[in-house]
Amino acid sequence: MIETENLTRKFGDLTAVDGVTLRIEEGEVFGFLGPNGAGKTTTVRMLCCLISKTSGTASIGGYEVGNGPDSLKIRKLIGFVPDSVGLYDELSAYDNLDFYGKLYDCTEAQRKENIERFLKLLGLWEKKDVAAGTFSKGMKQKLAVARSLIHDPKVLFMDEPTANLDPESAKTVRDFILDLKKEKRTIFLNTHNLDEAQRICDRIGILNTKLMAIGTPAELEGSTRGRKTVVQLEQVNDAILAALKKLPLGNMTVDGNKLTIDVTNPEKENATIVDAITRAGGRIQSVTVVGSSLEDAYLKLVREEK
């Protein structure tokens, strides 16, 4: 659905985005993580045909970014939630959405249906006739999300959609993104929130001008050494230790009835560990994974670039 090849943007002597190559599939929720100034917003604005690229190629739905006629088609195909909501304060919530629906040539029936649907899903239907200028920041952000969907886009770009929101509003927006995911929309999410990215994204790219890494949250976590599986047993005996030593595992330490084992991919290795212990007659009380996290992977990659 979204493809880039060596996508680059320079502002004079400053390279804001440097040779980004990625492919995002239809129906995927893709997260972009990176520090301030990493090029996340610049990348999204290029893909949304709001600013030009310096070099490289990009396409959305088979349409070429930077090609005049294709750019108009891309704009109809996508929705965009910017970091600044940009609503018309004097218009009501309903009229804001109705205005943007008309810009996208939505029929009156389409506008009415989508406005009611999205305002209800985001908890704003009771405020539909209230001027947007009186809304709280969280309410304005939710209205901006509804605006981006008024024309039923196949692709949705969201730039920090939960930034500075209170926990309840942020949860409403996250839950809404998960509902959109069920509809098989392609979602490109810029965020600083690692927990948010881990919970809702299928894959994550870590950007620091260049694309440092890309993968599922589990793959990125596994890219950093230091993960350990801790198994608490009723009793550790020689049979259990012998069974585990036959497996291709990392270093193992024994502390009373607790085993700590170095692992690379706990999602796969833990099943083998548990199976070996139970076959040897062991009784497991708990299994936990400690060590590296998405945050560890993110910080390691970002610091390596400095």
283: domain CATH number?
Answer: 3.30.70.100
- Cα 143 → chain centroid: 20
Rounded mean pLDDT of 73-85? 90
Assess whether 261 and 244 both reside in one domain. yes
| Cα angle: 70, vertex 75, 77; to 5 degrees | 95
Q: Look at residue 75 and tell me if it is in a domain.
A: yes
Among candidate residues 221, 251, 272, the one where a domain is terminated: 221
Distances (CA, A) of 236 to 66, 231, 241: 64, 10, 7
Assess whether 78 and 43 both reside in one domain. yes
Assess whether 10 and 112 both reside in one domain. yes
Assess whether 9 and 96 both reside in one domain. yes
Contacts 24+ apart (CB under 8 A), 268-274: 269/229, 270/229, 272/247, 273/229, 273/231, 273/244, 273/247, 273/249, 274/231
Assess whether 41 and 97 both reside in one domain. yes
Q: Look at residue 36 and tell me if it is in a domain.
A: yes
Q: Look at residue 170 and tell me if it is in a domain.
A: yes
Rounded mean pLDDT of 92-98? 97
Rounded mean pLDDT of 231-235? 94
Q: Look at residue 40 and tell me if it is in a domain.
A: yes
What tens digit of pLDDT does each residue of 12-60 get?
999 999 999 999 999 999 999 988 889 999 999 999 999 999 999 999 9
Q: Which backbone phi and psi does 227 adopt, to 5 degrees?
A: -80, 140
Q: Say how many C-beta atoms besides its own lie within 10 A of residue 265's C-beta.
A: 12
Domain of residue 39 covers: 2-221
Report how many domains make up the chain. 2
Sign (positive or negative) of CA dihedral 248, 250, 253, 258? negative
143: domain CATH number?
Answer: 3.40.50.300
The Cα–Cα gap between 29 and 161 comes to 14
Q: Look at residue 155 and tell me if it is in a domain.
A: yes
Assess whether 37 and 8 both reside in one domain. yes
Among candidate residues 221, 255, 270, the one where a domain is terminated: 221
13-22, 118-127, 216-225: which range is least confident on average?
216-225
Assess whether 243 and 210 both reside in one domain. no
59-63, 105-109, 174-178, 233-237: which range is least confident on average?
174-178
Assess whether 58 and 204 both reside in one domain. yes
Assess whether 32 and 175 both reside in one domain. yes
Assess whether 62 and 144 both reside in one domain. yes
Assess whether 146 and 268 both reside in one domain. no
Among candidate residues 173, 205, 221, the one where a domain is terminated: 221
Burial of 86 (0-12, 13-18, 19+ CB in 10 A): exposed
The Cα–Cα gap between 64 and 109 comes to 31
Q: Look at residue 11 and tell me if it is in a domain.
A: yes
Q: Look at residue 300 and tell me if it is in a domain.
A: no
Whole-model pTM? Answer: 0.77
Q: Look at residue 79 and tell me if it is in a domain.
A: yes
Assess whether 247 and 105 both reside in one domain. no
What tens digit of pLDDT does each residue of 163-199 get?
778 888 888 888 888 888 888 899 999 988 888 888 8
Distances (CA, A) of 163 to 82, 166, 283: 11, 9, 46
